[in-house]
Amino acid sequence: MSSSRKPTVVVAGLGDTGALIATRLARKCNVVGISTRPALVSGQELGTRLIDLPRWRRTYLIPYRRFRKLDAVDVVHGRISSVDFENSKISVDVSGGSSREIPYDYFVIATGVSNGFWRHDRVEDLTTIDTELSAINAELANASSIAVVGGGATGVSVADNLARGGNASVHLFHSGDEPLPGYHPSVRRWMARQLATDGVTVHPNHRAVVPEGFAGDHLTHDPVEWSTGQDPFTADVTLWALGGVTPHTKFLPASVLDDEGFVLVDKNLRIPALPNVFAVGDVAASDPLRSSARNWGFRIVVSNVKELVRGRPSKLKTYKASEYRWGSILGLQEEGLTVVQPNGKRFRIPRKLAEPLLFSVFVQRVLYGGLRKK
Ligand SMILES: Cc1cc2nc3c(=O)[nH]c(=O)nc-3n(C[C@H](O)[C@H](O)[C@H](O)COP(=O)(O)OP(=O)(O)OC[C@H]3O[C@@H](n4cnc5c(N)ncnc54)[C@H](O)[C@@H]3O)c2cc1C
């Protein structure tokens, strides 16, 4: 098939999910990827990012020009401002000021969510990304006491990594009896023990009073007050990891969103009534935990787009979510990479295998399809 006859797939957002989809469709289709940044800046492993930025960057901050499989993709640096489903086209505010309309045959929405200071939809260049990352790390490195508010995977990972870093006393506050809601009960018990072993002072049953209008998008220094009645707590720095994510869906009409603003999808990860439009990753209301990013939702979308291109809609694959969250919580540590599973079991990949096999071979070669050296 000549390149001009290939269908056009527009991928909105080239984060953890969108980048994988773009690399895998680039041979069969003309792929246009819209990205707010010129690099993959992963939302994964905030804990290790805050204590060992150079190592985190090797796997989780990668300029798109290094991805061999994105060579054939038209990467547009900017933000989608609107979509016209009737005429199958999107409008993009391109970095630098112009705007561009792009028609599509298939549209994949993978624009993710905003979460604290580490995930957002601002249009940025590489220098700004670097400056922001270094400033946050420097502020934490200079603190002698740190409060982390929030007992989800991010709060736990950050608190544990900072405590292992050893520069500050670290206090983790969460509102339940045990951290990690949404994880299997035995994972939650294991993590409570792990935090204590690693030197985190855990304060259960503390619900913070969130300052009016504050979205947790920067570090704070004022005392934290509790609606659960405890005395205010003062640390040099407070990091908020409240899990209150905001979906990046302002460019979409309300008719395709649920009450919280996430994109409604069917079992094939398509928007109902729009057979050529998919949504996947944290932005998609695919299951109660919205877990299609780590549950390989990108494979479902890639396969289903290819089937539609071949004219075989009866062959579409169905997305299946796991009941409990799974994956790595603490990131790579001296003892290796511990991965918790949906059934509550966990396994550990020793460090000397994790670095060469998981990060260099699996992530960089298999998942990303080969990276150029810097
Ligand atoms: C294979 C895999 C394994 C994983 N394993 C783990 C694990 O072990 N532990 C763990 O904690 N998590 C894991 N995760 C999941 C991870 O925590 C998040 O769920 C994931 O980062 C979400 O990806 P996303 O593509 O939905 O969003 P993001 O990575 O946030 O990407 C969205 C992108 O879209 C951009 N964007 C937003 N609005 C617009 C717009 N209007 N126009 C253009 N661009 C826009 C954003 O700026 C951002 O760059 C894994 C994910 C994957 C894919």
Residues 213-253: tens digit of each pLDDT: 898 889 999 999 999 999 999 999 999 998 878 999 999 99
CA 225 to ligand 1 centroid distance, Å:
32
The residue extents of the domains of the chain are: 3-115+245-324+355-367, 143-240
| Helices then strands, each counted (H, E), the chain | 8, 21
CA 231 to centroid of ligand 1, rounded, Å = 37
- Assign 10 to helix, strand or coil: strand
Could you tell me the two tokens for 231?
């005395």
For the chain, the first-to-last Cα distance in angstroms comes to 34
- Cα angle: 271, vertex 112, 288; to 5 degrees: 65
The ligand 1 site (C-beta within 6 Å) comprises 12-13, 15-18, 34-37, 42-44, 79-80, 110-112, 119, 121, 153, 248, 251, 281-283, 293-294, 327-328
Pairing of strands 284-285, 263-264: parallel
Ligand 1 center–CA 16 separation, angstroms: 4
Parallel, antiparallel, or unpaired: how do β-strands 327-328 and 337-340 relate? antiparallel
**Considering the domain 143-240, what is its CATH architecture?**
3-Layer(bba) Sandwich (3.50)
Domains 3-115+245-324+355-367 and 143-240 share a fold: yes
Write the pLDDT tens digit of every residue in 138-159: 999 999 999 999 999 999 999 9
Span 251-300, pLDDT tens digits:
999 999 999 999 999 999 999 999 999 999 999 999 998 999 989 999 99
CB-based contacts of 324: which residues, under 8 Å, 6+ apart?
182, 183, 184, 187, 342, 343, 344
Instruction: Assign domain 3-115+245-324+355-367 one CATH number from 3.40.50.720, 3.40.640.10, 3.50.50.60, 3.30.470.10.
Output: 3.50.50.60
User: What residue owns the CA closest to ligand 1's atom 50?
Assistant: 294
The pTM of this model reads 0.92
Q: Which residues sit opposite 201 in a β-bridge?
A: 171
Query: Which residues, listed in sequence order, are joined to residue 247 by a DSSP beta bridge?
Result: 113
> Residue 189, by phi and psi: left (phi above 0), alpha (psi -120 to 50) or beta?
alpha
Q: At 108, list the tokens.
A: 């994949």
Element (H, E) at 171: strand 169-173
